[in-house]
Copies of this chain bind each other. A is one copy, B any other.
C-alpha cells in the first residue's frame, strides 16, 4: 500500500523512471512470471539490487504500471472526446483513440489484462473506475436525448468489451490494422444495432 515515496534526488527520480520503462517493456513482452527482476535491471542498465531501492516487490512495479495505464488511458480518451460536442460521435472518437493507444503501447495494454491474474484488486479498480465514469456519461447523454435510454451500467461494460476485444483482434494481432474499417463498422453497430428497421 505504501510506495507513494518519491526519490529524493534527481538521479533517483530518473532511475525510477528508467526502471519503470524497462519493466513495462520486459513484463509486457514476456509476461509477469517469465520476466525476472534481472531481466528488468539488465534492460534498465542498472545493478540487480537497485531495483529494490525503488520498488519493494515485483508485484509492486506491476501495480505501478497498471496505475500508469489508468492515467494514460483516461487522459488519452478524455482528450479525444473533449472537442466533440455530439455525444454519439464522441463514442466514435473515444473508440478510435483507445485503439490507437493500444497500438502505441501494446505492452501497457497487455499488462492491464494480465493484472486480472497478478493483481485482481488493481484490475478491478482500473475497470470499475473507468466504467463508472463511462456510465455517468451515458446517463447524461440519455437524459439529454442524445442517445436512447438503456441501462448505463450494462451499456458501459458492453462498450468497454467491444473496445477491448477489437483491440486484441485488430490491433495487437494485425501488422497494419485498418482502423477506419474497424472503427466505422463498430460504430455503426453501436449506433444502429443489427436489427432490421421496420
Taking Cβ atoms with an 8 Å cutoff, the residues of A that contact B are: 31-33, 88, 91, 113-114, 116-117, 124, 127, 131, 138, 145-148, 150-151, 154-155, 157-158, 160-166, 168-170, 173, 181-182, 185-186, 188-197
Contact = CB atoms under 8 A, between A and B. Distances in A.
A184 to B, nearest CB: 8
Chain copies in the assembled complex: 2
15 contacts: A117-B117, A150-B185, A150-B189, A151-B181, A154-B166, A154-B181, A154-B186, A157-B166, A157-B168, A160-B165, A161-B163, A161-B164, A161-B165, A162-B162, A192-B193
Nearest to A182: B154
A91 B196 CA distance: 14
Contacts of A189: 150, 154-155, 158, 190, 193
A192 B195 contact: yes
Contacts of A154: 166, 170, 181-182, 185-186, 189
Contacts of A160: 165
A22 B131 CA distance: 35
7 residue pairs, one from A and one from B, having the closest CB atoms: A161-B165, A191-B195, A193-B193, A154-B185, A151-B185, A161-B161, A147-B194
Given A147-B194, A161-B166, A190-B193, A173 B88 contact: no
A155 B194 contact: yes
B170 A157 contact: yes
